[in-house]
Structure 1
Amino acid sequence: MKLRNLILLGIASFAVTAIWKTPARFAYQYAPHDKVQLQGLSGTIWKGEAKELISKTFTLNNLAWSINLLESLKSFSLKTDIAVQDPELTMNGLVGINLAKTISLDNTQIETTGAFISKIQKIAKFSGDLKGNIKHFSLAKGELPVLDASYQWKQGILTAPIKIQPAGDYALSITPSDKGLSAKISSKDAPLMLSGTANIDDKWQYVTDIKIKPANASAKGTMNILRMAVGKLESDGSAVIKQKGQLKPFY
């Protein structure tokens, strides 16, 4: 019995080692890549690099990965250290996925530009520098995401669909609450003074309470546009956005 177990363990160890040591370029031939393509692959499934990651909306250079065995064993999921060193976006963090297809990010730092964000979506045009620090994020099918993160938009300018300038600094923090997620927004040295919160519960019902006030004369045009959306402005010239609604799961 003991000999058989040792033989089975040896076979399993050999199989796992053979899989992880498979060249990344060879394994990529048999992986689905209709939405995202990798070019210039080197290394193995366990630890490798790609010179380019190409999607329909953007291209990233210099992607590297290394499977984190300790974190994988601790969480019963596949955990991989990811690093992206692209002129438009840098990222370092721990990415994970389990058998239930729950996606996770831990201790992840992201830096990018408003120009890159403008490139990957068509709703708004930005400029400035954006930084994100994601302590933990997990997304399970049909469930509200869990997120503990902070974001900073330095020297930010919005040029479309409305203009918000000159440049200013904005901050957003999102933390888990007893029933869901809570977000706080603020600004500093910006044409618009932003403050307030937004909350969403585990049933996807959200509530917002955000105050927007012009910091100088340059923001009056923006406030006139907001008045059309929210109705009458407050006595101090600010707009208060108080809304309730229902969202749908997106994964």
Structure 2
Amino acid sequence: MKRRFWLPAIVGVLVLVFFMVLQAPARLLPYFLDSQQVQLSGVSGTLRKGTATRARVQTPGGYLHLGKLSWTLEPLSLFSLTPTAQLSSVWGGQRGSLELRLVGEALGIRDLDMNLDAGLLKQALPVELSGRLEMLFDELLVTRSSLRRAEGRLVWQGAAWQSPGGARALGSYAATLTSPSQERVFADIVTLSGPVVATGGVELDEQNFTVDLFIESSGRALDPDLARALSLIASPEENGYRLRLDGEVAQGR
């Protein structure tokens, strides 16, 4: 009889403590996060549902600023040891929303919808680019050191680069990302419109990448500045340049 009495009482206390923790002030959240990977300020609300006026996350190319971040934690996901939250962010013309799950030491991302300035690419590339990046992904699986799985589409609208002679329009491009096997991601790249046509693919195998692109101009010679820049990293072929690169993805600092 005593066991029958104490068991529901213990369960009731645990459930009460669980929901009390969820209602704890959101300002406690930074204590549970790796400050080198995620930085929050101006935090309000609760651990279950709250906002941060400023947020940024570490990427291989440096910190990505998210602006105002809002989250809603799914309480039942804690019982399965896969904490899951709905996130959304807004910063100027940049916006994004996604579902984030903690899967062991990896992060699982679903229903990613993000629109941001392509100028952010200068954190990872040695050239200044512009345009808009639109990301629509059903699924991403990432670790601290690699992208292990990706299913979705990346579109670069109104792409341009800043040459020594001024801004040069490139075009609009789309990359469809798939994962034919575990820890291997392939991106098929096509040109949607514009004066510079790029076709080919990018393969990421754990931390190693391979790029194979053919770049040409649609019906006319390539811009001289672009041709000179390509000649430093690509091989000339009939009507264009073949860009082949391979190496290791830079690690976040």
User: Contact (CA 8 Å) 2:26, 2:46: kept in 1 or not?
Assistant: yes
Q: 1:209 aligns with which of 187, 207, 212?
A: 212
Q: CA deviation at 1:139?
A: 2.0
Q: 1:62 aligns with which of 63, 68, 71?
A: 68
Q: CA deviation at 1:208?
A: 3.7
Q: CA deviation at 1:151?
A: 0.8
What does residue 104 of structure 1 align with? 108
User: Contact (CA 8 Å) 2:163, 2:225: kept in 1 or not?
Assistant: no
What does residue 53 of structure 1 align with? 55
Matches of 1:149 and 1:2, distance apart in 2: 52
Matches of 1:141 and 1:103, distance apart in 2: 9
What does residue 234 of structure 1 align with? 237
Kindly report which structure 2 residues correspond to 1:77-116, keeping only aligned pairs within 5 A, or say none. Answer: 77-98=82-103, 100-116=104-120
Tell me the SS of whatever aligns to 1:177.
strand
Matches of 1:227 and 1:4, distance apart in 2: 77
- CA shift in 2, pair 1:248/1:108, >3 Å: closer
Matches of 1:172 and 1:199, distance apart in 2: 12
Aligned sequence identity (%): 17
Q: CA-atom RMSD, angstroms?
A: 3.2
1:184 partnered with 2:185: no
Matches of 1:163 and 1:185, distance apart in 2: 26
Tell me the SS of whatever aligns to 2:47.
coil
User: Contact (CA 8 Å) 2:186, 2:202: kept in 1 or not?
Assistant: yes
Tell me the SS of whatever aligns to 1:109.
strand
Which string of whole-angstrom CA distances, capped at 9 and with x for unpartnered residues, describes residues 87-134 of structure 1? 142011101214x3211211010111134444x557331221111012
* Unmatched segments (≥5 aa) in structure 2: none
What does residue 22 of structure 1 align with? 24
- CA shift in 2, pair 1:200/1:40, >3 Å: closer
1:166 partnered with 2:169: yes
1:12 partnered with 2:18: no
Matches of 2:166 and 2:196, distance apart in 1: 11
Tell me the SS of whatever aligns to 2:42.
strand
Matches of 2:151 and 2:53, distance apart in 1: 31
Matches of 1:18 and 1:200, distance apart in 2: 44
Matches of 1:54 and 1:212, distance apart in 2: 34
User: Contact (CA 8 Å) 1:66, 1:82: kept in 2 or not?
Assistant: yes
Matches of 2:167 and 2:194, distance apart in 1: 9
Q: CA deviation at 1:197?
A: 1.8
Quick one: which amino acid aligns to residue 85 of structure 1? V
Query: Which stretch shifts more, 81-90 or 36-45?
Result: 36-45
| Structure 2 length-normalised TM | 0.80
Which string of whole-angstrom CA distances, capped at 9 and with x for unpartnered residues, describes residues 22-76 of structure 1? 0112x14745674454333221000011222267956543211001245x26964
